[in-house]
Structure 1
């Protein structure tokens, strides 16, 4: 899709031979009966898809409504006028905070990775409790704490393995406390 000065002649099926050029405003009627006014934001001649911003340019601060339409679904497209830049009115608002998106992605990935697959609700509660104070991750159905201590199913203190003896003993104590706080069956 080439949104910058894209033009294309519509031949068969739809568009009445109109030229869809970025910045032109049309009154559009679809084969489904839907009618709208829109400014062409982009046109893809290979896929025969037109992206419209509905209505006139919006006031700053308001969100835009876009509509993606297969050109062969356009039964009528009446040219209204040409605009210089269909996105000009909101240029100051069109800022993508890449570092913010990267942070949001990292948070989303952590949330997904914090969900155990095929584990019991009890195991997930234990994982969530440990995640508040330790670096934890799932390794299949095992909870791995600080990269070296592992808690296996059924997640009792006798299922804690790995790590230095002091770390192992500490995680056993913490696990007993967590199970008590969560009011899970007694740790045996």
Structure 2
């Protein structure tokens, strides 16, 4: 049995023919119940997606595939060409078709429309919160009104030591403050943090030498 739904071959009425075909699918292929035309801005019914389509373009090119979507605003049809591992998609302008026909797809053929799976809102909110926190942390690592050299020193130190900005000074380990121009002599800490101060000075000296040699 030929399961193809033929459509008239008048090229000047392609858009109207497509709308008729859409309504035919919606009514199960019957035109007897059609009393009022559908508005032009009405999206086609879901059953149309996934159907096969054979078309001849205005220049005589014959193409076939599966209906992936149809946009009433641009009057364009998206078709999928299933392959062995992936599908190729092509967009056609309905008004540029000379002829087309819809054909049912074998139910055993894998659907080109991906299944909509359940989404956990808790996981979405957790990912959102994590992304916001990470963005805030990145922003906090950028000094306000500091020089490029100061930012480079901060970035270098923060790779091995926890750092934060306090206006234009760098606070390392929450114990050592490095003030502009960020030399070893500008490192200060309380007497109880002498070990941390010595460590920061050593790291700072090495990073400044590395940055100087990279220029």
Tell me which interval the TM-score lies in, with the shorter structure as reference length: 0.3 to 0.5
TM-score scaled by structure 1? 0.48
Larger Rg: 2
TM-score scaled by structure 2? 0.43
